[in-house]
Amino acid sequence: MKKQIVAAAVAATMSAVALADISITGAAKVNYTNVDADTNTTTTTNRFTQEMDLKVKGKKGDTEVVINFGGDGLDNTASTSSAQSGSMNVEDVYLTSNVMGVSVKAGTWDNGNNELRASARNNGKLQAGTSVGPLKLGFLTSSNGATSEEFTVGTDLAGVALSYTKKAAGETVKASTSVGGVNVKYLGLPADAANKDRTYVEISTDLGGVGLKVGSAKAESAATLEGDTWLGDFEHTSATKASRTAANPLPMFLDAGQDIMGIELSTSLAGNKVAFRNVSVDDVAGKDMDINKLIVTRPLASGATFELTYTELDSDRTNADSSTLDLELAVSF
C-alpha cells in the first residue's frame, strides 16, 4: 500500500513537471584584465572577474513570470575565496500578460542602457500598452508615484519609426529608418531644466563586407552623458565620481557638457569578427580623451566564445592615460 502511494505521488509530480512550460537560460563570462596605467593606484593588474546571469521563465497561456539572477562584479583579486566580492542576486522579477487586448508587465526590471543615460531598476513597476489603429500607446508607473509616470505614443510614418514619451521631468524622442541600405537612428532626451538636453544620432551601413557605424552623442552644458554602450562604459555612481582626484583619476566617467563622437569598422576575418573603434570625448577644457579599441571575437568549437579587447586611452586628465588588455571567455545557454 505504501509503495502504491509513493508511486502515485511520484507520477503526479512528474505529470505536473511535464505539463509546466518552464525554461531556464543564462550566460556566464570570465575575464582576465591587465591594465598598464600612468598610476596603478586605481586599478588592479592581472585581475580575474566573473559575471553570471540566470533567467527562469514560467509560462501559462499568454501569461509569463520571469526571474533573473545576476552575479555581476564577482572579483577574484586575491587567492582566498573570502576576498571575493560580489554575489548572485535576484535582479528582475516580473509578470507579463494580456488583459482584454492590453499588454501588461508588472514587477521589477532594468530599463537598459542607451547612448545618453545609464540604466535604472525600480521596484513595483507597472507597464501597459495597446494599439489604436496605427498608434501604439503605452503607460508606465512605479512605486515612486507621479514622478515616475510615463506616457508613450508611437507610430510608423512612411517607413520611419517614431516614438514620443512624456515624463514627469522631460521627454524621450526616438526616430529610426533605413534608406538605401543606410540605417539612421535619432534619440533625444529633452529636459525641463535649463541646459540639460541630450541628443544622439547614429548612421550605420555595410560597405563591401565592412560594417561602418558613426555615432554622435551631445550634452548641453548642465547635462552629463552616461551609460554602457559601444561608445564606452561611463556608467558610474556618484560615489565613484566623488572619489576621483588628479592622482586617482579612474574609474572613467564624463563631466557635464562633454560630448562623444564614435566610429566603428567591423568585418569578418579568418573566422573571427574584428572591430576597430575610435571614440573621442571633448568640449570641456582639460578633460578631453581619445579611446582606440581593437576587438577580436571568435566562436569556439566548445560552444563558448573567446574575445580579445585591447584599449588605448589618451586623456588630458593628469595621470589618466592607460593601456588595457582584456581576455574574455563567454558562453550563453
Q: How far apart are CA 54 and CA 86, in angstroms?
A: 15
Q: Tell me the C-alpha to C-alpha distance, in Å, between residue 319 and each of 22, 40, 159, 252, 287.
A: 52, 10, 49, 12, 12
* pLDDT for 54 beyond 70: yes
Of 30-39, 54-63, 99-108, least confident by mean pLDDT is 30-39
* pLDDT for 308 beyond 70: yes
Is residue 232 helix, strand or coil?
strand
CATH H-level, domain 21-332: superfamily: Porin (2.40.160.10)
* pLDDT for 306 beyond 90: yes
Per the CB < 8 A criterion, the answer to whether 247 and 276 are in contact is no
DSSP one-letter string for 297-310: EEE-TTS-EEEEEE
- State pLDDT tens for residues 230-276: 999 887 665 556 555 544 444 567 889 999 999 999 999 999 999 99
* pLDDT for 1 beyond 70: no
- State pLDDT tens for residues 132-166: 999 999 999 988 766 789 999 999 999 999 999 99
* pLDDT for 12 beyond 80: no
Q: Where are the domains positioned within the chain? A: 21-332
- State pLDDT tens for residues 106-119: 999 998 899 999 88
